[in-house]
Amino acid sequence: MVDNGFLIGALIYVIACLALVLFQQKQLGKLRNKVDALALLLKESDNQRDGFKRELHELRSGTIGVGKRVLELEKKLAQQNARIDEAREQDPQARLYSRAMKMVSLGAGIDELVAECELPRAEAELLLRLHGNR
């Protein structure tokens, strides 16, 4: 017959193998749960990244639009400044007053304004009071 020690050893071996298989299945279940959780996190990260890409694209588009608008406004401002300068050049009276204001800013007195710009004394005094103490 078969030896009882051999049977007991085989039974212990089978029980140990079953315990090991059960332990491995439990560990495999835990790993599957972790893999599922990581897959979910990865999917959420991808969705968030796609959302950030859309927002970045919208910001870029908005910035480009604002940049174009600023360039248009700068161009219009330059045109307006050119028109103002042209109008000043065409009006001799305005040139006299511009020159008189520059002289006042440089510290000219009433007599100098009257002599250089051919302004009436009252206008020279007014310009001096308005633009003098800057």
- On whether both 98 and 131 belong to a single domain, the answer is yes
pTM here is 0.44
Quote the tokens at residue 101. Answer: 């204001």
CA 49 to each of CA 15, 35, 38, 53, 55: distance values in angstroms, whole numbers, following the listed order: 50, 21, 16, 6, 10
pLDDT digits (tens, 9 = 90+) for 9-60: 999 999 999 999 999 999 999 999 999 999 999 999 999 999 999 999 999 9
Asked if residue 6 is part of any domain, the answer here is no
Quote the tokens at residue 93. Answer: 């009276």
**Can you give the residue range of the structural domain that contains 124?**
91-134
Asked if residue 17 is part of any domain, the answer here is no
Total domains in the chain come to 2
Q: Which of 124, 101, 102 is nearest to 113 (CA)?
A: 124
The percent of residues in the chain predicted with pLDDT above 70, rounded, is 93
pLDDT bracket for residue 114 (50, 70, 90): confident
Asked if residue 7 is part of any domain, the answer here is no
Asked if residue 43 is part of any domain, the answer here is no
The mean predicted confidence, pLDDT, of the chain is 88
Q: For residue 25, which amino acid is it? A: Q
